[in-house]
Structure 1
Amino acid sequence: MNTTAADRGREARRRLLEAAAELIAERGWAAVSTRMLAERAGVAPGVVHYHFSSVQALLTEAALAVMHDLIEQAGAGMERAHTPGEALGLMIDFLTAYDGRDPVSLLFAETYLAAGRDEDLRRSLGEVVTDFRRALAGRLAEHQVPSPDATAAVLAAAIDGIMLHRALGPGPDATDLTAVLRRLVAPTEPGPPAKEQGDTP
């Protein structure tokens, strides 16, 4: 079966996105060039700018695609969970595959760093984080977790921090991490009734 020009174009675009994700992790965001991308993807340099307006646009699309994919995988685990604590346990188990020095972890770190210098990337990355928080908050709200939006924001930041810190050295194991994070989603214990003014101690 003969391939069409459109098929070849889609394949070249796919290879460029794959090459970009690999090079971000290997070389660092700022070091990736048109020549590197073309060589890794096996295309002519002109093909890079035929499919993407700039190297920055290509790197952004590649990085965000990896992030979306990871979040979708984590989200699938949350959907299977019957309690918030179980959801957190599944998420931590899922993240044990990433030690902070693997390609996906490095891509995340490089993308966060680059976002501090690029407003368009910062905005796009912010949308990814917001979508994750919103999905997490929705699941927490279904289980009557107090302050689901704020709790989701803290959990998302904690998970990001855990991933970043893993690159620096070993930390708590998955069991300990899950136990700590579960406290954030534990039901609020009812306190004693408030005293009315004039009540005797």
Structure 2
Amino acid sequence: MHWKTGWMKWLLFAVVVMGLVLWMGTQPRSVDVTESVIVDGDRAAIWQAVTDFDGVFHKSNPAHLETRFDTSSGGLFRDGTSFRQTELVGGFRGNLDGVVLDVYEGRRYAWRADTTYTVAGIPVTRVDEGGVLRIEKTRQGKGWMLSHRVYGRFPDTFKGRVLSWVMSAVFDIEADAARHTLTELEYIKRLVEGNGHG
């Protein structure tokens, strides 16, 4: 009789887990975070820092393993300029194949990337990622608000929806993305203010 009780517990556990996985497969999650800092410096200096992808931006976070900027643009930062980046987010290795969009010099730019996340070199999922970086006047009129909205959308498949929950609930990827973004902004703030721009 005792073995039947143990078997029933495992069966109930398996049913609950399967039900949870099936539910997750119908409820997609996404990452969407915005972080900001106030930079007491010259707007042009901030813009120069945030558009120096393979220099300043690469150095702004130790999680950036490699950053390559498309040099065919002649060093110009403009719509359509491509970049590649390898970084660590939430314990996963992300390989970004990205492009810069909607560039308004000195004010803002957007970016979009097709990102493949891997674990131990094995692809886990592809994510449609992107963001909008802005340099805006503060309400107080002192310094500039430097903000970066970052988003990630998982594939709209059963596997993609389940992985979105696993990466959110188990690996807390949204909180990690927020920390990752804030680390970059704080680095740029320290760099610009430390160089006496302003």
Higher helix share: 1
Do the two structures share a fold, i.e. TM-score over 0.5? no
The normalised TM-score by structure 1 is: 0.24
Does 1 or 2 have the higher relative contact order (CA < 8 Å, sep 6+)?
Answer: 2
Structure with bigger gyration radius: 1
Using the size of structure 2 for normalisation, the TM-score is 0.24
